[in-house]
Amino acid sequence: MADQYDVIVLGSGPGGYVAAIRCAQLGLKTAIVERENLGGICLNWGCIPTKALLRSAEIFHYMQHAGDYGLKAKGIEADLEAVVKRSRGVAKQLNQGVTHLMKKNKITVHMGEGTLTGPTSLTVKGEKGEEKLTAKHVIVATGARARDLPFAPADGKRVWTYRTAMTPPEMPKKLLVIGSGAIGIEFASFYNDMGADVTVVEMLDRIVPVEDKDVSTFLEKSLTKQGMTIMTGAGVEDIKADAKGVKAKIKAKDGKVSEQEFTHCIVAIGIVPNTENIGLEKLAEMDRGFIQIDPYGRTKSKGLWAIGDCTPGPWLAHKASHEGVTAAEAIAQELGNKDVHPHGLDRNNIPGCTYCHPQVASVGMTEAKAKEAGYEVKVGNFPFIGNGKAIALGEAEGFIKTVFDAKTGELLGAHMIGAEVTELIQGYTVGKQLETTEAELMQTVFPHPTLSEMMHESVLGAYGRALHI
């Protein structure tokens, strides 16, 4: 006899476990299936442990520049093993937290490999053998994994993906990072701060290519100033790895090919959805392996839903969590709950953050995208050097840029680079969700002295009213 539930969630990452919690909150009998660690990649091998690593690198950077703050520090050294141990401890704490949340919300956890046998049924192969589960609804939240280079698959020794880069067998002396999206740039920033000689190779014409062009240009100058080598419009044509290191043939922007030697290489060229061999072939419409869904997470099969990195992007943990709540509430509504009112996901209001040094954050359209969409725009740009708090912090590098519809005053996008901008971006995200215009933002009182005052000044600047520049 198969175990029966209202909802089964396949995958326990930030999309899956949040969906399960919301289902349980709404009174639905809920189960979750996980093949490895509760919390998924994000909590165990992604978002959180990388931030622990980057925090250690940030502290190390400040210690090396203690003199800038009137302090003296001698004999400063980085202990990579201890840094990694701290990061793994953070991941373990959060994994235990998710385990507690499952118990608190009376969610049944099935550990093992889940395979769909129909839109609302699956088998789980684990330590207990094979279990059969059925439900009224199933949410697929199987996430994604790092994409390998076809000619140089990761070996965990010299050629790494993010997973090895978080628990490195040794400190790289000369590191090649292929790809300059958030993952590539964060690891490049971490290892550069820790003392490695870092080269970043990006196929497109600028780093962090999804960001506003002004942000990309500023970040490249900053990272170059910090000692990195940045190669844009370039490609890695071949890699040979052995016990001594990595030899890479790199085609530069001018078409010239050179062979360069590195001790290690991190491949960060995108993701592959975990959707093969789980029974989806006839149940869902697929595009390049990603499950196609409506704004609420529905697939083409009644009762089958999908969220997170196994669906179209952006591939971000907070997007997955939001989709999880939306799908849970839509399911509850279908099952007769009249007190929930789910709203379909608006991808224009999803913020993105990159935790390099300096940090990068954005929401909405870039200036170029807004113009491509036919908007006449007003653009504000305020530098960190004009902000008292930034100067006091010794963090006067960066700017905040805002893009408005010149006709209606609608905030179309906001783009930031500098200290703690990943904490500031949510102000603009809330503004976009509330469909704010420049008038409301101008009339808002921002506390002094704070970095957030630059958000106000950028809005004022779009209309020729900036006060401190």
Q: Which of 322, 448, 456, 468 is catalytic?
A: 448
Q: Is 336 helix (H, G, I), strand (E, B) or coil?
A: coil
Between β-strands 197-202 and 271-273, what pairing exists: parallel, antiparallel or unpaired?
A: unpaired
Contacts with 62 (C-beta within 8 Å, 6 or more apart), sequence order: 69
DSSP string covering 34-100? ESS-TTHHHHHHSHHHHHHHHHHHHHHHHHHTGGGGT----S----HHHHHHHHHHHHHHHHHHHHH
DSSP string covering 420-438? THHHHHHHHHHHHHTT-BH
Neighbours of 135 (CB within 10 A): 24
Tell whether the torsion through CA atoms of 310, 312, 316 and 318 is positive or negative: negative
Amino acid identity at 36: E
Q: Is 158 helix (H, G, I), strand (E, B) or coil?
A: coil
Q: Verify whether residue 456 is a known catalytic residue.
A: no
Alpha helices in 272-339 (DSSP H): 317-334
DSSP string covering 378-445? EEEEEEGGG-HHHHHHT----EEEEEEETTT-BEEEEEEEETTHHHHHHHHHHHHHTT-BHHHHHHSP
- How far is Cα of residue 103 from the mean position of the Cα atoms in its chain? 28
Q: Which residue has the tokens 């990068």?
A: 360
Phi-psi region for residue 47, left (φ > 0), alpha (ψ -120 to 50) or beta?
alpha
Q: Which residues are catalytic?
A: 448
